[in-house]
Amino acid sequence: MKERLILVTNDDGYDSKGIRAAIDVARRFGRVVAVAPETVQSGMSQAITMYNPLYLRHVSHDEQVDVYAFSGTPVDCVKMAFDYLMRGRRIDLVISGINHGSNSAVNVLYSGTMGAAIEGSFYGCPAVGLSLTDHSADADFTAAVLYGERVVRSVLEGPEELPLCLNVNVPTGRPEEIRGIRTCRQNRGFWREEFFRHEDPRGREYFWLTGEFVNWEPDAEDTDEWALAHKYVSVVPIQTDMTDYRLLEKLRGRFGE
């Protein structure tokens, strides 16, 4: 059987601990090419680079893994892989992550990790975004690797469902502390942001953005937020059709069509 080819990317940068964990997952299933941002690109969502040159750097090579650093966004990295580096070759899976921090609920819309995974699915390739609910640089990815492998194996060895993009979040903790995997829906909530104003030594004002997540449905047991709060790995299938079908019929005829 022809060896699988797996693309790995992320939004924390090519040298993050999380992408090394993602490569560890990917190399168990085939040949790995990692194309990841040169610098941290968190919160970039589906952003692409249009007005600046892009630079590609080959970082390392061994018999199973090639790593490239790219000066663009996570989505730029996926486009570079499909449209240039591996153009004409079949890519069997895209893994984006493992992200330092959760991408549950509305975070999926802001996430560079999930932006890259979604972009991979646009190429007709199954894609998995992996995140760990631990923002620290030295986070323990043991459980994320274990459960990431289980999800990836299910995707690669199960019936082909395309388009397929999964948002997988793993709670912080040792593997024995995690209760299993739950297939969920995205929680309904939002971020309530706050800007903190400061002045630099020259008297110029600047701001730091912070915020708090507001969960609209804390008791709903079928959401990703509930799963993570109760030590389950959450798996949410993602689609890009943002049509509000609930309102579609109600709006028909209102605008004279």
Put simply, whether the predicted model's pTM sits higher than 0.85 gets the answer yes
Residue 228 sits at the vertex; the CA angle it makes with 131 and 103, to the nearest 5 degrees, is 35
Burial of 94 (0-12, 13-18, 19+ CB in 10 A): buried
User: Which pLDDT score is estimated for 191?
Assistant: 87
β pairing state of 65-70 and 127-132 = unpaired
Domains and CATH numbers, the chain: 5-188+219-251 (3.40.1210.10)
User: Which pLDDT score is estimated for 212?
Assistant: 87
Gap between the Cα atoms of 31 and 52, Å rounded:
31
User: Which pLDDT score is estimated for 256?
Assistant: 65
User: Which pLDDT score is estimated for 194?
Assistant: 87
Gap between the Cα atoms of 80 and 150, Å rounded:
28
The mean pLDDT values, 10 residues at a time, for the chain of 257 residues are 90 97 98 98 96 98 96 98 96 97 95 98 97 94 98 94 95 97 95 91 94 91 97 97 91 79
User: Which pLDDT score is estimated for 226?
Assistant: 97
